[in-house]
Structure 1
Amino acid sequence: MRAITRGAEPQALRQFINDNQTSPQNLHYDNTGTKEKDPMLEQLVRGQHGLCAYTMRRVVHADGRFNAHIEHILPRTAHPDESLSWTNLLACFPRTGDCDFGAKPKAAYDPATQPFVRPDRMVDGHFRFRQNGEVEGLTDAALACIAPKVLNLNAKELVNDRKAKIQGALILRPSAAEAQRRAQALRQPDAQGWLEPYCEAVAKVLEEHAKRTESAAKRRAGARRT
């Protein structure tokens, strides 16, 4: 998970809300159509730089189609009044079908009453990523997210994907400076506005690698002086 920043809500959503001011019973996400949902999803995906809000998996196909759906942080079954709230919406993998990680297992889990890390709020300090691709929860909220019945962030597929990206970044044993530069670059979108999948996981591991490399160099320098 990485921190995300939303832009303004799309015109299509504002128009739908305005058009139904005199029919409040219609003001629910389930009453929107593709005219509203398509631009909503596109703006969410672009605001998240092409990554799933929960897993950092790439949700943009090579042909530009989005493999994502609109996720409600607060489930719309329990919070119908929030179903059209732009601040309650995310783009998450997959577009259709079942999945054993991310938004699908979360389903009706309610962050209003149970611990949860929202990617649109403070994320830093909640998770630690390991070189083997696993993610460690550093807070109760993070541990809840990692749990199999919530986001299942240590699902085998996610762990293997993260591990491949992390090991690919470390295979040439970068220097501390090289690792820091690479970590910074991973946090910058490309020319199309997309980020690399699992970018924050790789960046965090590279930063830890840089610290270890610097510490080892200082120890060697100290040993030579003595």
Structure 2
Amino acid sequence: MGSYYVIAPHVLAASNLVRNVTVAKKLRDFVLGPKDRMVSALLEAFEAAGFKVCSDVKFSVEGQKGDLDLVAWRDGILFILECKNAYHPCSPHEMRNSYGHIKKGREQLDLRRQLYTDPSNQAALFVKLGWSVQPTIRIHTGIIIANRVFHGARFNGHPVRHAKELMNVLLTGTIADGGDGLRFWEGETFTADDLITYLEGDSIVTKQFSALEPYLIEIDVGGRKLVFDSHVLNVQTLNDTMFASYGGSAT
């Protein structure tokens, strides 16, 4: 109206103005700097856990070009990970944005798994990285995310895992438990098999999902019932499952 903008209060109430300005002005790259901090933190965690590891590895193999976000080696096992640092979603649209990042990671890992199951391609990669190791048939992939949206899902066999939880598995193996000593590692020290269990096996998030129980929400509408399927967390079941699985007694 003239030189003024008239905006309904709810538009402001339902908007994340800081985020919108950040996106519109492309400030995120400026704040984060030239290297993704999530990838840097993961790199340090893998190194501390005794892996040979490298990030942002360019490749040109069988006519395909790209880069490996994170490639790690320990105990005769190769891990190839794609890292996706999407915004923490504050709307359904941004949940779709995270899903788009994960779908892209799935497509990338499909190709990388295909290329690096070939021992000759592995050997060339190890030479490029300066690693004195032999090709292996033990290859594991994963999509590592900065937020928890789709944490625990699998896409074409590629597990989706949260970055901070992964780092905790590598560095401490402990689970927040109020001081009762729950430990994810099979033994007292970390091994590469612990990481395989976390990525491929019966992981922490699987235990959490198993404690969810179906719950129906019913709403009467003009003599008919509108029913929504939902779930509720059974805290006692989760507590019992965690202690039984990770080295304590549920007392």
Tell me if TM exceeds 0.5: no
Choose between structure 1 and 2: higher strand proportion: 2
Shorter-chain-normalised TM-score: which range? under 0.3
Which TM-score applies when normalising by structure 1?
Answer: 0.26
Higher RCO (CA 8 Å, separation ≥ 6 residues): 1
Which TM-score applies when normalising by structure 2?
Answer: 0.24
Greater Cα radius of gyration, structure 1 or 2: 2
